[in-house]
Amino acid sequence: MSKCIYCHERKGKRPCPALNGSICSQCCGTHRMSSIQCHTDCVYLDANVEYQQKRVGDFFDQGRRALYRELLEKWGDKAAEVFYFLEAVTFKHFHSRRDGQDGEVIAAIQSLRRTFSPIQIPEGMAPAFTEALKKEYEAFMKGEKIDNDLVGEVLDRGLIFITEFSGPGLRSNRFLNGLTGYLKSYYPEVAEQLIKLSETGGGIIIPSGANMGDFSKQ
């Protein structure tokens, strides 16, 4: 049996179409859809994605609780609403995309953050999620009275959280997996509503209640 095409140490026990060779189960499970750009029809992808998302979602829950507590204590309910909006739009856009990367989310939030700067620098053709986030944000703000300075603070804090949770991998999807696994495991009704919105093209609706009900309760 040949060596794993990724680590070159353990035995390669399963075919990897993306690497055109055999890979060990450990490397497959650790690096799929992050440092390995898996083919969407790989038989091992479907069998493990949901498990991986749930596992990372449990870690996401811990960090998310601390973040919401900080947002509520520093800036109040509106700050929590802004970050909920970011989570909802991100899940809505990426829930079915296996090739999604955290870098797309970070770049989109950074681009949105720059719109609050007094100095506007022209940007080239924006990626799909950047355009989607800005469009959803404009629609979201029509029904909200939130100061731009507050939004900027939340975006800055959110970027720190997402970047730290994602980790150093250039093609990491740990944040996206964590968010997806968290919503599907802890709040399946919210996930279902957002999936329906992605299919119908509806806009994000913030749940009633200052703390957005149980969804953001600490």
6 against 202, higher pLDDT: 6
Helix (H) or strand (E) holding 199: helix 188-200
The answer to whether residue 26 sits within a structural domain is: no
For residue 18, being part of any structural domain is answered with no
What integer is the mean pLDDT of 132-138? 93
- What is the 8-class DSSP label of residue 22? E
Residue 75 tokens, joined: 């800036």
Round to whole Å and give the CA distance between 205 and 160.
Answer: 25
- What tens digit of pLDDT does each residue of 175-193 get? 999 999 999 999 999 999 9
Tell me: pLDDT of 117 over 70: yes
Angstrom distances, CA of residue 151 to CA of 110, 134, 145, 159, 182: 12, 13, 11, 12, 24
The pLDDT of residue 53: 83
In a domain, 65, yes or no: yes
Q: Tell me whether residue 15 is in a domain.
A: no
Tens-place pLDDT, residues 139-160: 998 877 889 999 999 999 999 9
57 inside domain? yes
Confidence of residue 216 (pLDDT cuts 50, 70, 90): very low
- Is the pLDDT score of 19 beyond 90? yes
Q: Which residue has the higher pLDDT, 206 or 86?
A: 86
- Within a domain: residue 12? no
Average pLDDT over residues 57-74: 94
Is the pLDDT score of 204 beyond 60?
yes
Residue 47 banded pLDDT, cuts 50, 70, 90: low
Note down the domain range covering 102: 49-216
Of 162, 36, 159, the closest CA to residue 99 belongs to 36
Please state, rounded to an integer, the average pLDDT across all residues of the chain. Answer: 86
What is the number of structural domains in the chain? 1
Report, as an integer, the average pLDDT of 17-33.
88
Lowest mean pLDDT among 7-21, 42-56, 138-152: 42-56
